[in-house]
Amino acid sequence: MKDLASQLLKAFNDYGPPEGTHPTPVTGVYCTKISQDRPKSKLRWRACLGIVVQGCKEIVLGRSVYRAELSHFTATPFELPVTSRVPVQSKDKPFLAILIEINPQLLTEVAAQMSHDFLNEKDDTPRALFAGEADEQMLEAALRLTKLFIKPEDATVVGPLIVREILYYLLKTSQGSAIRQVVSSGSKMHQVSKALFQLKSDLHQPIDVNELAKVASMSRSAFFKHFKEVTAMSPIQYQKRLRLLEAKRLMMDENETAESSAFKVGYKSASQFSREYSRMFGKAPLKDVTALKKR
């Protein structure tokens, strides 16, 4: 395992990604490099499997704290508003990770091909974020995937096959049974996931909890209970946090004004947006973004 981790680090460095998170030649696969200590910050966590190549990270969701170190993974099938911290002791040893998007359709296909022994295992514990140690098979596949980053032609053809393989190994981990519930028709996780995907696609629309409960095939009270068990927040909190995080991204990456960002994510009142943004991030939108861009 230690040798595999060293080989994975070498392959990652051979590719030499720049600072930040960037796509690789393999569709749906990204490299992350963070060279400066990143204090606790609120992020929009993409639906993905993350494998730590070097360093460690902490993710807070509700009252749960997840810590992923070398050769560990985190996985979530949904987009989540989380609090994350990445401690970096030295620029010579930045935090490095591979991120693989989790496509619900692909996850469903892989789960459907697994043996009944795996499929009969049930873990109905409601949660949206999973963490564990990557086994030898997952790390070896991640190594082959990383080596493709410097071979764009091979990456196009072979990359998606290895991504499928890695998702299979994810579903075989101790967390796999719970993750499979997301794509298991009739499970509470699957019902809540349908509402989560609806919320994400209609982020700018006013929230209708009754309609979301119908999408999840639940009563309003049951839906509210199970949604909070999975995400550690209410549907309204989930939408509000994703909206504010998306507005922040628009201001940071696309140089949108606070007002235009607010309206794009569904706010009708700029003053309400400013109040809620300040409550979540600790500063008014303009002050926050200006300070972050100066870093």
Architecture of the 2-182 domain: Sandwich (2.60)
- Reported as half-sphere exposure (CB side, CA atoms, 13 A), residue 79 has a value of 18
Cα distances (angstroms) measured from residue 175 to each of 76, 123, 137, 170, 244: 11, 9, 15, 8, 30
Please answer whether residues 224 and 209 qualify as being in contact, where contact means their C-beta atoms are separated by less than 8 angstroms.
yes
Average pLDDT over every residue of 222-246: 94
Judge whether residue 2 has pLDDT over 80: no
What's the pLDDT score for residue 116?
A: 61
Q: Which two tokens stand for residue 208?
A: 């209708």
What's the pLDDT score for residue 185?
A: 81
Does 291 or 100 have the greater pLDDT score? 100
What is the distance between the alpha carbons of residues 76 and 291, in angstroms, rounded to a whole number?
A: 30
Judge whether residue 17 has pLDDT over 60: yes
Please answer whether residues 17 and 50 qualify as being in contact, where contact means their C-beta atoms are separated by less than 8 angstroms.
no
115-170 pLDDT, tens digit per residue, is 765 555 565 667 889 999 999 999 999 999 999 999 999 999 999 999 999 999 99
Please answer whether residues 57 and 86 qualify as being in contact, where contact means their C-beta atoms are separated by less than 8 angstroms.
yes
Q: Model confidence at 241, in pLDDT bands (50, 70, 90)?
A: very high
What's the pLDDT score for residue 124?
A: 61
Average pLDDT over every residue of 40-44: 91
Is residue 252 exposed (0-12), middle (13-18) or buried (19+ Cβ within 10 Å)?
A: middle
61-104 pLDDT, tens digit per residue, is 988 899 999 999 999 998 999 999 999 978 889 999 999 999 98
158-201 pLDDT, tens digit per residue, is 999 999 999 999 999 988 888 988 888 888 888 999 999 999 88
What's the pLDDT score for residue 252?
A: 92
Please answer whether residues 140 and 11 qualify as being in contact, where contact means their C-beta atoms are separated by less than 8 angstroms.
no
Q: Model confidence at 39, in pLDDT bands (50, 70, 90)?
A: confident
Secondary-structure class of domain 240-293 per CATH: mainly alpha
> What is the Cα 288 distance to its own chain's centre?
23
264-282 pLDDT, tens digit per residue, is 999 999 999 999 999 999 9
**pTM to 2 decimals?**
0.91
Judge whether residue 31 has pLDDT over 70: yes
What is the distance between the alpha carbons of residues 63 and 31, in angstroms, rounded to a whole number?
A: 28
Of 73, 67, 250, the residue nearest 172 (C-alpha): 73
What's the pLDDT score for residue 292?
A: 84
What is the distance between the alpha carbons of residues 176 and 179, in angstroms, rounded to a whole number?
A: 5
Can you say whether residue 25 is alpha, beta or left, with left for phi > 0 and alpha for psi between -120 and 50 degrees?
Answer: alpha
Please answer whether residues 130 and 178 qualify as being in contact, where contact means their C-beta atoms are separated by less than 8 angstroms.
yes
> Mean pLDDT score of the chain, rounded to an integer?
92
